[in-house]
Structure 1
């Protein structure tokens, strides 16, 4: 019937539905914000007033689950709303606290181990609490558990934050613009940054990252801001994507290197022929046919195997390496052409 989308002030999403119980308002979001709107609690199918003691018990449950590495969302509801009620005027008080949501994703541990094995640094940029972030990081195998919060970042210069980024992997209680700032500073260090997120608050960071990654059930705005959308509910696909990207890059680099050397050799051969030979060694059509056959011979390169040691670390674009191979292999191929010209002449 209606919806108030998540925003960073309310920190909760509210929907207004109609079911067998009548009109019902259901917000979900950050624990502190949802709890502040509640005056009752549902315990063993009984609705009871939310006392200070019960609030403290709920906080204790939340903290205990957070220490176990669970990212907790709170859920509340309000029944028997009038048909004429306005969704933007209700839901700020008098709600019934229903419980928590927040199962962890089991594939995260193996995915992070595989990424680290291939020299991909994993950092957590989240709006969750520092305690939850540390517990999750410990469970998925991140060794450095030092955490910096968004409030601390506000007092630091870009140079100080850049130094933190080289030392720490955990950043908690971040606003959306703070996530984008951290990514921008990593890029300024020469890093290629991929960012994965599924919430509206991740949109800015996804736009800033070199590769934005989201999931199929993410918010529409988040998917629009992403470069890659994961259709499988398995984070191990990230490692496959990294390896496939490196394999494609290395094979493309091979093609560019071979083609550059060949073209340089052809230029030298034509230059020598035009200066020294009293006859035309090849017709224009013959040169085109030769180039076509040469390009067909390169079709195997996308399926070429790549050595495992090349896949273990990122490969950087190196113009120096291209020029070196071109100036060695190009003249060598030219020598074969010149030898052919000499045979034709004599």
Structure 2
């Protein structure tokens, strides 16, 4: 087994140790938030920001003005579906799957009529709470919503008008390992499989046969637990090959659990966030550096060192723009990193 290592490094200026002296452009928005930034999603050119204490919108088209949309509610994950006019969230004290209508949020920004709270949102499912993570995947014009709950996985499908809501599709309870991270792959454009990560490793659910099986169980000293970081369905593999990232490592397996590459990705330090972006790269956010790797090969493309140790959290990305948060001075801010122009 080959370890593809790298990364780390001490303080100093921000530089790309694996790509010469090229560095990405980073823009820090002035607004300092009063509570922790937990998630974000692009809405047009603007950024919806989920906080420990509410939901805000960062207007990127102007001077970075911030609008408070919802207060006294925790938003831990979100995704925008503009065509469906919805914002899907895990939010609230009970971690419910709640869908907000974008038109309602827009009316709150514009302060127009139609801000009636009753018309602004709807919960997914009946009494569904305790959500840990969700993923939205499109297959044959159907949008599937896969939800990891405390001890189960549920799959919903979007029903267009006149229903205009997510409707229950499949439910898997009493799982051996509690799901912490979830995804959905479509094998050869036909078979659906849920992939999920737990404290023991990674597992799959075949939606055709309703069978649950292990993909990769991590061997830890004294039976210790792992932290699943990222599930990547590798492009151009007909949905059959995966990259599974956990702790400081990443392994390549297929959807039956067979190892596909004699390679293990080895991050230089324990990442606080691992994200797969549309360029086909992995970003590992450590306290000392950001590592950039090819998801297909695990090859280290670049390392960008921080000026000082900092804790960053990946938020979202679009095209060559990557948004993340920091708590450098105790008050979180949003930053945007532009990766175009870097010659990997």
TM-score > 0.5 by shorter chain: no
Higher helix share: 1
Structure (1 or 2) with the larger CA radius of gyration = 1
Indicate the structure whose relative CO is greater, using CA pairs within 8 Å and at least 6 residues apart: 2
Normalising by structure 1, report the TM-score: 0.24
Kindly indicate which of the two structures has a greater share of residues assigned to strand.
2
Normalization by structure 2: what TM-score?
Answer: 0.24
